[in-house]
């Protein structure tokens, strides 16, 4: 579980650096929060 959280944070960090697609980041963020 902890590994998944770290992987998710790393993934989001890479996305943020590689792209400015805020809609995609918000979609992923809200998908995780609501689960």
Instruction: Work out whether the CA dihedral 15, 16, 20, 25 comes out positive or negative.
Output: positive
Calpha distance 14→1 (Å, rounded): 20
pLDDT of residue 6: 92
> Taking each helix axis from N to C terminus, what angle separates 22-34 and 2-18, rounded to the nearest 10 degrees?
160
* Tally of CB atoms within 10 A around 4: 9
pLDDT of residue 18: 65
CB-based contact 12:27 (threshold 8 Å): no
- Condensed to tens digits (0 to 9), the pLDDT of residues 1-35 reads 788 899 888 888 887 776 656 777 778 888 888 76
Indicate the pTM of the whole model: 0.42
């Amino acid at each position: 579980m902890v590994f998944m959280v770290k992987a998710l944070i790393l993934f989001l960090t890479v996305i943020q650096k590689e792209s400015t697609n805020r809609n995609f980041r918000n979609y992923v963020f809200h998908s995780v929060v609501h689960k």
